[in-house]
Amino acid sequence: MRAAYHEALENSRLDVVRLGALVSDAIRTATQALERRDVVLAGRVVAGDDEVDEMRRRVEATCIEMIWKQQPVAGELRSIAGMLQIVTDLERIGDYAVDIAKNAIKLADVAVRPASVEIGRIASVAYEMLVDVMRAYREGDEKLADAVIERDDTVDELYHSSLSALQTEMQQDPGTVPAGTLLLFVVSIIERVGDRAQNIAWHTKDIYA
């Protein structure tokens, strides 16, 4: 039974890594869809959310079963509790990707878009945080987790500067208001991706403490 337990623990850990890869790709793809005005690409992100939800449920079910049947202690319990927290954050990031994709679809037919906001820049930083934090989790790299935590300040700075630029541009040119309003939502969503990546970094540090 212990061999089966350790196998289940490792399989769940691998599922967390796979889920991280799925949502990272979803964020990258949704951002590309926004920048390219690619409705088909955005649709793929929306359609892929079911797989994200299913993988989260699978990890949660296995973790709960391990706690119930095996009553893990110390490091094993931290690992399982951390997985439960991380998959929650990852599933929410998957939802954010869907939100970005849906806004990309709405923006595809908008004639005027604010030009002063670099959505790609803030999205790139948030995406890199997510990729790095999943590597930190996979490899047990606490220093990399610390670096991800610190990088959230950059996302926050870009977020506030983007909000200011959008608000200024919409005040100066009312024609940008429809697109600008949607982009305000997108920038806020991307800022939350950074927050969730930071959460995962903290959970990773707890697991390997």
| pLDDT for res 69 | 85
pLDDT value at position 183? 93
Query: 6: pLDDT confidence band, cut at 50, 70 and 90?
Result: confident
Residue 204 is classified by DSSP as H
Q: What CATH number corresponds to the domain at position 24?
A: 1.20.58.220
The C-alpha atoms of residue 43 and residue 69 are separated, in whole angstroms, by 41
Per-chain mean pLDDT for the chain: 93
The set of residues, in sequence order, having a beta carbon less than 8 Å from that of 1 and lying 6+ positions away, is 70
Calpha distance 40→183 (Å, rounded)? 19
pLDDT in tens, 45-100: 999 999 999 999 999 999 999 998 888 888 889 999 999 999 999 999 999 999 99
**pLDDT range class, residue 117, cuts 50, 70, 90:** confident
Tell me 37's DSSP state. Answer: T
Count of CA atoms in the C-beta half-sphere (13 A) of 176 = 17
pLDDT of residue 72: 80
The pLDDT of residue 209 is 81
Angstrom distances, CA of residue 123 to CA of 34, 126, 139: 11, 5, 24
Return the pLDDT at 73.
80
pLDDT in tens, 156-199: 999 999 999 999 989 999 988 989 999 999 999 999 999 999 99
At 1, the pLDDT band (50, 70, 90 cuts) reads: low
Could you tell me the residue range of the domain that residue 201 belongs to? 2-207
Mean pLDDT in residue range 104-114: 82
Residue 120: the pLDDT is 87
At 112, the pLDDT band (50, 70, 90 cuts) reads low
DSSP 209: -
User: Rounded to two decimals, what is the model's pTM?
Assistant: 0.94
Please write the tens of the pLDDT for every residue from 119-143: 889 999 999 999 999 999 999 999 9
Tens digits of per-residue pLDDT, 137-155? 999 999 999 999 999 999 9
Query: 164-171 — which CB contacts under 8 Å span 24+ positions?
Result: 165/114, 165/116, 165/117, 166/114, 166/116, 166/117, 168/116, 169/114, 169/115, 169/116, 169/117, 170/114
pLDDT of residue 55: 96
* Domain count for the chain: 1
